[in-house]
């Protein structure tokens, strides 16, 4: 991975591509002054997450123990950006004020809690795949209610709504999120809800070729006629009813420390809505 006899004491920013999680303690020793770290998804040698989760836990514990026993860890990572599982396996034991995580899905959600417990972020950004905002203790709202989240002043959620979420009610889900934020000292919130194209079950137009009357051997490409749009799925209907302006008002009322709210809703289908509001000098929220 790196030259074994080299040390990089002045390097502050590091980007790792396709790095093995087993190399992470080595990274700490070779780059002792890193403040900004980004990691692409780690190369997986395991068959599946659930089958090898015990091995993941063991690797994380070994990495943490190595840092403690050798007294060798970063004092403070200002920012981590990248793979959720990669950070879990690397297991830095220092605080990480800015935490920007990719790959937050149902399968890997159980490793998010331990990461937040250790990192104690002030700003948290999650790329979320699916509706993970239910009442379960393993879902994101419950994780945000835990005592270790008291340092959060900024939260960004980018949510990709998939075909598997077709029965979800986003109004209920976002209400659950709202309830989990009331005890946090949040100053800025950014939510982006994106309905994927595969929720639209309308058959796609197809291309066919017909003889060209003006050319004996020629062909003319023609598109099939448009199909009647398929009915909205339940999750699409709930997204259609979701009111970003009303939700921003509810956020401002529930979280008195809020200064900025940004909400983007992409869907259903081609519909798009945007809400930007800031708290004015008189304490009221003003739409931009």
Quote the mean pLDDT of the chain. Answer: 88
DSSP assignment of 179-245, as one string? HHHTTS--SEEEEEEEE-GGG--PPPP-EEEEE-TTSTT-EEEEEPPPPPPPPPPHHHHHHHH--HH
Whole-angstrom distance, CA of residue 7 vs CA of residue 11: 9
User: If you compute the radius of gyration of the chain from its CA atoms, what whole number of angstroms results?
Assistant: 24
More confident of the two residues 49 and 196: 196
Nearest Cα residue to 236 out of 275, 201, 278, 280: 201
Whole-angstrom distance, CA of residue 65 vs CA of residue 71: 9
8 Å CB contact between 170 and 242? yes
Q: Choose the weakest-confidence range: 18-32, 79-93, 172-186.
A: 18-32
Mean pLDDT for 178-191 is 95
User: pLDDT at residue 72 above 80?
Assistant: no
Q: What is the pTM of this model?
A: 0.89
Q: Choose the weakest-confidence range: 98-112, 186-200, 209-223, 236-250.
A: 209-223
Mean pLDDT for 237-256 is 95
> 53 is written with which tokens?
């989760």
**3-state class percentages of the chain: helix first, strand second, coil last, to nearest 5:** 30, 25, 45
The β-bridge partners of 184 are none
Give first-to-last CA distance, the chain, whole Å. 49
Say how many C-beta atoms besides its own lie within 10 A of residue 143's C-beta.
20
pLDDT at 226: 86
Q: Choose the weakest-confidence range: 11-15, 44-48, 104-108, 229-233.
A: 44-48
């Amino acid at each position: 991975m790196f030259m074994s006899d080299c040390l990089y004491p002045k390097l502050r920013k590091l980007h790792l591509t396709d790095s093995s999680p087993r190399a992470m303690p080595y990274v700490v020793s070779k780059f002792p002054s890193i403040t900004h770290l980004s990691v692409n998804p780690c190369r997986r040698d395991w068959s599946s997450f659930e089958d090898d989760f015990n091995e993941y836990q063991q690797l994380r514990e070994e990495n943490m123990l190595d840092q403690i026993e050798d007294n060798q860890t970063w004092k403070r990572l200002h920012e981590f950006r990248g793979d959720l599982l990669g950070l879990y396996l690397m297991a830095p034991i220092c605080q990480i004020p800015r935490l920007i995580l990719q790959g937050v899905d149902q399968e890997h959600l159980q490793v998010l809690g331990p990461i937040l417990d250790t990192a104690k972020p002030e700003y948290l950004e999650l790329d979320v795949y699916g509706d993970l905002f239910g009442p379960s203790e393993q879902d994101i709202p419950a994780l945000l209610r835990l005592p270790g989240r008291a340092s959060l002043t900024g939260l960004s959620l980018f949510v990709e709504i998939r075909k598997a979420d077709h029965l979800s009610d986003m109004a209920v889900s976002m209400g659950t999120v709202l309830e989990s934020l009331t005890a946090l000292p949040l100053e800025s919130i950014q939510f982006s809800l994106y309905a994927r194209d595969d929720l639209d079950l309308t058959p796609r137009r197809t291309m066919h070729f017909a003889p060209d009357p003006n050319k004996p051997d020629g062909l003319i490409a023609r598109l099939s006629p448009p199909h009647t749009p398929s009915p909205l799925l339940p999750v699409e209907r709930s997204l259609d009813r979701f009111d970003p302006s009303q939700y921003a008002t509810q956020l401002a009322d529930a979280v008195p420390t809020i200064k900025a709210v940004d909400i983007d809703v992409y869907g259903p289908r081609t519909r798009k809505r945007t809400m930007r509001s800031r708290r004015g000098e008189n304490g009221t929220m003003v739409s931009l």
